[in-house]
Amino acid sequence: MSRGKFITFEGGEGTGKSTQVDLLGSALRNIDISVVLTREPGGAPGAEEIRNLLVNGAASRWTPLSEALLNYAARVEHLEKTIYPALNQKQWVISDRFVDSTMAYQGCGHGVEHSTLNSLSKVVLGEFKPDLTIIFDLDLETGLARARARGEGEDRYESMGRDFHERLRHGFLDIALRDAERCCVIDASMPIDQVASSIRKLVSERLHVKLP
Ligand code: TMP
């Protein structure tokens, strides 16, 4: 039985992912595709509780490995309670962040061994992976300024140093290079409507739908 498509948006802080999740969701609904918009960490009740532990408080609050494990615990809830049921009902799911964020933030950013994260991914995801991952790339100054201007709290990661954010950016670009079949990099410095139109084009080409 065919299932819905699973699209993930990834990237550093302030790259405009959340706005684009909403815009792509509307574009897909306009062509009568039923869509669930979600996010990580979060996207299910228990996962949202874990999110509060992760995004608030001092930067040094968790060891990198604890942080990775908390993200994977949240991901299990998200997959079982939200993502798999929706895909099985042929709905499409767009998630603002997924497993590549753990590799970039906890792996490249905080130095958790990639092999450890790959083992956890194997346990939690098995062979499951997104049909398409869009990686938002943006220079650090613009991204951090945008994230700070939002000023909504949830600023634990924004308070980490410049080198950390530099490693993240390279981490995401490296993921895109290694898995070009699944991933695509978008220049997030373009105006919102241009980014949205590039994403619609990409989704149309890669996932065989006609988005105007
Ligand atoms: P957001 O700001 O995009 O909502 O994401 C919340 C923060 O959580 C963001 O700074 C990235 C971080 N994060 C990780 O460090 N590891 C992960 O696995 C995920 C999903 C997010």
State the closest ligand 1 atom to the C-alpha of 147, by its place in the atom list counted from 1.
2
Spell 60-96 as b/e; 16+ CB within 10 A means b.
Answer: eebebbebbbbbbebbebbbeebbeebbeeebbbbbb
Does residue 83 carry a pLDDT above 90? yes
H or E segment and range at residue 140: helix 140-150
Residue 71 near ligand 1, beta carbon < 6 Å = yes
Q: What is the pLDDT of residues 130-159, one digit of tens each?
A: 999 999 999 988 888 888 887 766 677 667
**Average pLDDT, stretch 189-211?**
97
Q: Please name the residue whose Cα sits nearest to atom 19 of ligand 1.
A: 101
pLDDT for the residue 153: 67
Residue 41 near ligand 1, beta carbon < 6 Å = yes
pLDDT for the residue 143: 87
**Average pLDDT, stretch 107-127?**
97
Cα separation, 2 vs 111, whole angstroms: 38
The answer to whether residues 196 and 24 touch, using CB atoms and an 8 Å cutoff, is yes
Lowest-confidence pick of 22-26, 100-104, 149-153: 149-153
Copy the structure tokens of residue 130: 């997104």
Copy the structure tokens of residue 49: 């509780």
State the closest ligand 1 atom to the C-alpha of 96, by its place in the atom list counted from 1.
3
Ordered domains of the chain (ranges, CATH): 6-207 (3.40.50.300)
Q: What is the pLDDT of residues 163-180, one digit of tens each?
A: 999 999 999 999 999 999
Cα separation, 95 vs 12, whole angstroms: 15
Q: What residue type is assigned to position 194 of the chain?
A: Q
Q: What residue type is assigned to position 143 of the chain?
A: G
pLDDT for the residue 152: 64
How high does pLDDT run on average in the chain?
95
CA distances for 109 relative to 44, 131, 150, angstroms: 26, 25, 23
Q: Looking at beta carbons, which pairs linking 81-85 to residues 24 or more positions away fall under 8 Å?
A: 81/44, 81/45, 81/46, 81/47, 82/36, 82/38, 82/43, 82/44, 83/6, 83/36, 83/38, 83/43
pLDDT for the residue 154: 67
Residue 40 near ligand 1, beta carbon < 6 Å = yes
The answer to whether residues 209 and 29 touch, using CB atoms and an 8 Å cutoff, is no
pLDDT for the residue 58: 87
